[in-house]
A = this chain, B = another copy of it.
Amino acid sequence: MLTDTLQTYKKVVDDQLTKLLKTPNKEYACLYKAMEYSLLAGGKRIRPILTMLTLDSLHVGWHPYLDLICSLEVIHTYSLIHDDLPAMDNDDYRRGRLTNHKVYGDGMATLAGDGLLTYAFECITDNRAAKNEQKLSCIEILAKAAGPAGMVGGQAYDLHSEGQTLSLKELQVLHAGKTGALFLAAIHMGTILGKASSEIKDAYISYAKALGLLFQITDDMLDVTGTMEELGKMPGSDEKEHKATYTSIFGLEGAKAYACETAEKAKQSLDGLEAVDTSQLVALIEYLLHRSA
């Protein structure tokens, strides 16, 4: 069952994350405490799990690459810390606990994010199993996905367009950066570590694009239908901040139909591939389509 796998893999990622950060001296301990607070706060760990599921499908063990794979969660955590800052979304709760700046102050939270962002690249260079070419490819994929043409670009456009009505096309550009880029990077990194053929890589990248979009549509839906208990953060924040979302464009029912259509597209991307076992990747589509958190 995919849900069992997700639970097991989440635990593996959680364990690996506890081993990553090593305070170098007592003077910098204040920073490491703030970084750890958010990194070890739980969460679905979906991005590293995507890489693990990709490697599973390619019949390649992910264990030797765990630190490298965790770079994705390290980057994701930094983006949440900065996104929650008063200068950005000004959120008080995240993953069921107070946001980083609520505990450590705005300045230290900014630095905790900066520290995690930079450290993500160390997670890749420090890995002992991947070949130099693979590490460089992973660094390039991660930097481009997380950087100004990817995640940060999407965040900036989100901030810049607050209160404006966006077209579907504009919203897609926003989310292709904000959430899509890191989903894509996770699966792309899996194909690099798993030495996938270019046919499989192309198919997986199509799948990843649809999957990222599906995740965002259901995320927007959960912000309308979810509870604080389910989400670990306050629902209704998109509407409160007049953000353009798939539910604000299509309505809840329309967003659901768009989610089903996108799920179908993700499934079709994997059709007819040989020598790979895509069963978990297909199950993940269903899981995201029907998720409640």
Contacts and interface: CB of A to CB of B under 8 A. Distances in A.
A149 B111 contact: no
Contacts of A143: 118-119, 121-122, 125
Interface stretch (A169-177, A230-238, A285-293): A169-177
A251 interface: no
A28 B119 contact: no
A265 interface: no
Nearest to A177: B28
Contacts of A114: 78, 82, 113-114, 117, 152, 155
A88 B110 contact: yes
A148 B119 contact: yes
A194 interface: no
Nearest to A75: B118
A152 B27 contact: no
A140 interface: yes
B125 A136 contact: yes
B85 A152 contact: no
A135 B174 CA distance: 31
A24 B144 CA distance: 11
A73 B205 CA distance: 33
14 contacts: A24-B148, A27-B153, A27-B170, A31-B148, A82-B110, A87-B87, A111-B155, A115-B153, A118-B143, A118-B146, A119-B148, A122-B140, A125-B136, A132-B133
Interface of A: 21, 24-25, 27-28, 30-32, 34-35, 78, 82, 85-88, 105-119, 121-122, 125-126, 132-133, 135-136, 139-140, 142-144, 146-149, 152-157, 159-160, 170, 173-174, 177
- Nearest first, the 4 closest Cβ-Cβ pairs linking A and B are A87-B106, A31-B156, A115-B148, A28-B153
